[in-house]
Amino acid sequence: MSTNITLLIVMGILFAVGIYLLLERSLTRVLLGIVVLGNGVNLLILSAGGRRGEAPLYKSALDAQEYSDPLPQALILTAIVITFAVTAFMLGIIYRSWVISRADVVADDDEDLRVSQQSTFDFEEDSPVPEDTTEFEGDESVPAGNTKEAGPSA
Amino acid sequence: MIDAPLSAVSFAPLAVALPIFGAALAFILRRKRRTQRAVTIGVLVVTLCLEAWMLATVWDGRTYSVTLGGWAPPFGISMVVDGFSAFMLVVSTIVSLAVLLYATSQGLADGDEDGPVSIFHPAYLILVAGVSNAFLAGDLFNLYVGFEILLTASYVLLTLGGTTARIRAGTTYVVVSVASSLLFLISIGMIYAAVGTVNMADLAVKLPQISEGTQTVLHVMLLVAFGIKAAVFPLSFWLPDSYPTAPAPVTAVFAGLLTKVGVYAIIRTETLLFPGNRLSDALMVVAGLTMLVGILGAVAQTDIKRMLSFTLTSHIGFLIFGVAVGNQLGLGATIYYVAHHIVVQTSLFLVAGLIERRAGTSNIDRLGSLAKLSPLLALLFFVPAMNLGGIPPFSGFLGKLGLVQGGAELGTPMAWVLVAVSLLTSLLTLLAVARIWNRAFWRDAEDASDPDPLLLVGVSAARGATYDIVADEPASRYSDRGNAALLPNGMLAMTAALVLVGVALTVFAGPLFDFSDRVAGQMLDEGNYIEAVLGAGEGQAR
């Protein structure tokens, strides 16, 4: 299978740029990264179709070998439509995020921060169990005075 | 190919088409809420009947395929119905229907004016269509399209209302999902470049012919892409971050379905495209870490919904373990366990929604007295919680037993380590749900820190010799809406129905295990699938 080297180089650049942008914290850059990466993937699928040939419209004079492979093109069309829809939706989210918080960056999760900062000592579970609480009245090992207070506190 | 003349299987495309048309209709009817509700529920009921019929057709363990558009496979789009896909369809639609009715009841109780409910029903149906399409897909690209349909619908559902928290969670979720989809698309491009087809049956024939190294690369790329969707460690961190902020019914249906579609794709990859357990050791390591890291995260949480999200990722590890074991026993148990986990995890999230509604919060530090205030709610939590923890005789125990038996039959040191890890994880799961039980249900609300007034009012009302669960003082945002607004009967009924489905999985475990064992045996011989799609002769050609 022979492929177009220029397309491959462009594809590589698109992938590199896309992944770099995807790792940014600013949402618009992330979105641009997704768009660029999506185009890189489309080029990859196009290259997967093999060497170039005639447009795949039936001509009686042409041998089957002469056509280019139509399937990758169909796949790319679908992929373009999907990327388009997702891009539009993400723009909506980014705009909403801007309206709400005037920020274009991925925010931290408050609950995550709270959980990570909470004390490892849990009052309810880790407090030492008082020795003088028993529900068995007249237990020899427990002083009699304490048993009366030790019933289940209402 | 086996084209069953005019049997249920010929109607398989309708399982995708019906919800899509229903969504269009529901969107047109967005100003007429009652009609819209009726359309959505009606479509799901009809789809469920159709899928149950399909399941009855393939119950004996045969595989059928339907080819769309008159193009012969492997060029046309084929949909494949076998025991596994039909079973997943039926379970997923039962769960979707229950959650939809729960959400409807919630909307009825609150008045529909809050929030953009008009978009909820169409998006929900699109989600169901995407899930069905992914289960039925007979080629990789159609699987990709199915994933995209369900993901796009899930973006909308997750950010419903556009509040600060949901937008924050939504951006992470969307970016991670898009990245995984792009990775999946790259894999499809690579696979097409390597073997020149995307039809899964055709791939099963042709992939063994290419070099071992290329196969491994393609295999790993697919597993990583599906691993993100299935939330397998170390690709699972997006899940507990994004799920808990969504509305309760949305979280419930996501927890039940979305990750399981990823697991389904992993199972197909391991049994059909790359059989032979070449990566099973790596999968076992990943499965063990998924279980452990997930459950340790769950134990650290104080918010019920977040805790449940962590148990969700943790129990994905059990499924991956079953796939990695790869023998008939393990795979059969995995199929059973998927159904169990979908039902149980969804019911727990529905209960979490009810708890949040009853008590004004889902933070266990602030909860208490719920067992006294609503014994029914306590029961509805207790049964699926014990089920998740794997207490006999529930289906969680049976599924885990099956997995452990599968691991023991394999008998490698790695499998034994995994058996031990899975038992430890079950124990820690029990610890996590017992913490919720102790705090939210058993202790007095007075002992909680900063409890919602609703709980305290309820306690004093309950002490006054009546078990009326409705607070009669206007202490909260719900209590001015009249009686039974705190726990609407419809929401309780649908939660109870789903809990009962979970119990039914236990009661009918015998026939179900026979079925899943049969299906697993059939899936391990990929000749069945190939023959069903490409026609007789191809299957034996291997």
- The two tokens of residue B139 are 């080629």
Coil/strand/helix, residue B413: helix
CATH code for the domain of A50? 1.10.287.3510
CA torsion through residues B163, B169, B172, B175, sign: negative
CB B310 within 8 A of CB B240: yes
Distance to chain B for A41, nearest Cα, Å: 6
CB A48 within 8 A of CB A72: yes
CB B292 within 8 A of CB B425: yes
Distances, alpha carbon B87 to alpha carbons B92, B366, B535, in Å: 9, 40, 23
CB B321 within 8 A of CB B341: no
**Nearest CB partner across the interface for A48, out of B164, B189, B306:** B189
What's residue B472's pLDDT? 41
Q: Are residues A38 and A94 in the same domain?
A: yes
> Could you state, in order of their start, the residue ranges of all structural domains in chain B?
1-274+526-542, 276-524
Q: Is some CB atom of chain B closer than 8 A to the CB atom of A118?
A: yes
Q: Is some CB atom of chain B closer than 8 A to the CB atom of A1?
A: yes
Q: Are residues A141 and A95 in the same domain?
A: no
DSSP code for A128: P
DSSP code for A148: T
Residues of chain A with Cβ-Cβ distance to B192 below 8 Å are: 45, 48-49, 71-72, 75
CB B172 within 8 A of CB B241: yes
Instruction: Categorise residue B97: left if φ over 0, alpha if ψ from -120 to 50, beta otherwise.
Output: alpha
Q: Are residues A48 and A75 in the same domain?
A: yes
Torsions phi, psi for A153 (to 5 deg): -70, 130
Identify the residue among A109, A115, A123 best suited for mutation to test binding to B, counting B beta carbons within 10 A and taking the highest: A109
Q: Are residues A27 and A66 in the same domain?
A: yes
> What chain A residue is nearest to B151 in terms of C-alpha separation?
A86
Q: Is some CB atom of chain B closer than 8 A to the CB atom of A38?
A: yes
Paired residues of B363 in beta bridges: B303
- Tell me whether residue A101 is in a domain: yes
For residue B470, give every residue at least 6 positions away whose Cβ sits within 8 Å of its Cβ, in sequence order, or none: B479, B483, B484, B485, B486
For residue B388, give every residue at least 6 positions away whose Cβ sits within 8 Å of its Cβ, in sequence order, or none: B311, B315, B344, B345, B348, B396, B429, B433
E-strand spans in B7-160?
64-68, 77-81
The secondary element (H helix, E strand) that includes residue A4 is none
Q: Are residues A29 and A81 in the same domain?
A: yes
Q: Is some CB atom of chain A closer than 8 A to the CB atom of B193?
A: yes
Q: Is some CB atom of chain B closer than 8 A to the CB atom of A126?
A: no
Q: Across chain A, what does the average pLDDT equal?
A: 79
Q: Are residues A102 and A124 in the same domain?
A: no
Q: Which of A75-84, A105-114, B456-465 has the lowest mean pLDDT?
A: B456-465
What's residue A135's pLDDT? 64
CA B74 to chain centre: 30
Counting every residue written for chain B, the total comes to 542
Q: Residue A139 pLDDT > 60, yes or no?
A: no
Identify the residue among A14, A17, A111 best suited for mutation to test binding to B, counting B beta carbons within 10 A and taking the highest: A111
- How do residues A15-64 score in pLDDT, each as one tens digit? 999 999 988 888 889 999 999 999 999 999 988 887 777 787 877 877 87
Per-residue confidence band for A148, with pLDDT thresholds at 50, 70 and 90: very low
- The two tokens of residue B76 are 């046309």
Coil/strand/helix, residue B137: strand
Is B189 close to A45, i.e. CB distance below 8 A?
A: yes
DSSP code for A23: T
Is A109 close to B169, i.e. CB distance below 8 A?
A: yes
Per-residue confidence band for A3, with pLDDT thresholds at 50, 70 and 90: confident
Is B300 close to A47, i.e. CB distance below 8 A?
A: no
Per DSSP bridges, beta strands B64-68 and B77-81 are antiparallel
Written as one string, the DSSP assignment of B251-301 is HHHHHHHHHHHHHHHHHHIIIIIS-S-TTHHHHHHHHHHHHHHHHHHHHH-
DSSP code for B114: S
What's residue B266's pLDDT? 92
Distances, alpha carbon A121 to alpha carbons A126, A127, B430, B434, B436, in Å: 6, 8, 21, 18, 17
Q: Are residues A126 and A88 in the same domain?
A: no
Is A72 close to B306, i.e. CB distance below 8 A?
A: no
Q: Are residues A66 and A142 in the same domain?
A: no
- Tell me whether residue A112 is in a domain: no
- Tell me whether residue A152 is in a domain: no
C-alpha B22/C-alpha B132 separation (Å) is 14
What's residue B424's pLDDT? 92
The secondary element (H helix, E strand) that includes residue A57 is none
- Tell me whether residue A14 is in a domain: yes
Q: Are residues A42 and A67 in the same domain?
A: yes
For residue B304, give every residue at least 6 positions away whose Cβ sits within 8 Å of its Cβ, in sequence order, or none: B352, B355, B356, B362, B363, B364, B436, B440
CB B369 within 8 A of CB B444: yes
pTM for this model (two decimals): 0.87
- Tell me whether residue A154 is in a domain: no
What's residue A145's pLDDT? 47
What's residue B468's pLDDT? 42
CB B208 within 8 A of CB B272: no
> What chain A residue is nearest to B180 in terms of C-alpha separation?
A34
Is B167 close to A118, i.e. CB distance below 8 A?
A: no
Residue of higher predicted confidence among A67 and B499: B499
Total number of domains constituting chain A: 2
Domain range enclosing A11? 5-55+62-106
Q: Are residues A81 and A131 in the same domain?
A: no
Residue of higher predicted confidence among A131 and B69: B69
- The two tokens of residue B205 are 């024939």
The neighbour count for residue B403, using CB atoms within 10 Å, is 26
Distances, alpha carbon B389 to alpha carbons B161, B179, B311, B424, B430, in Å: 34, 33, 10, 11, 5
- The two tokens of residue B256 are 């039940």
Q: Are residues A101 and A131 in the same domain?
A: no
Distances, alpha carbon B508 to alpha carbons A2, B67, B503, in Å: 57, 34, 9
For residue B517, give every residue at least 6 positions away whose Cβ sits within 8 Å of its Cβ, in sequence order, or none: B328, B329, B332
Q: Are residues A95 and A125 in the same domain?
A: no
Query: What is the ipTM, given to two decimal places?
Result: 0.82
Per-residue pLDDT of chain B in tens (542 residues, 90 and over written 9): 444 455 777 888 888 889 999 999 988 887 777 888 888 899 999 999 998 888 888 888 788 888 887 777 777 788 888 888 999 999 999 999 999 888 888 776 665 555 556 788 889 999 999 999 999 988 899 999 999 999 999 999 888 877 888 888 888 899 999 999 999 999 999 999 888 888 888 888 888 888 888 989 999 999 999 999 998 988 888 888 888 888 888 899 998 889 999 999 999 888 888 887 788 888 899 999 999 999 998 888 888 888 999 999 999 999 999 998 888 888 899 999 999 999 999 999 999 988 888 777 788 878 777 777 788 888 889 999 998 888 888 888 888 888 988 888 888 888 899 999 999 999 999 999 998 888 888 887 777 777 777 677 655 554 443 334 444 433 444 444 444 567 778 888 888 888 999 888 888 888 888 888 888 888 888 788 888 888 765 544 43
Instruction: Categorise residue B433: left if φ over 0, alpha if ψ from -120 to 50, beta otherwise.
Output: alpha
Residues of chain A with Cβ-Cβ distance to B300 below 8 Å are: 115
Distance to chain B for A99, nearest Cα, Å: 10
- The two tokens of residue B315 are 């129990």
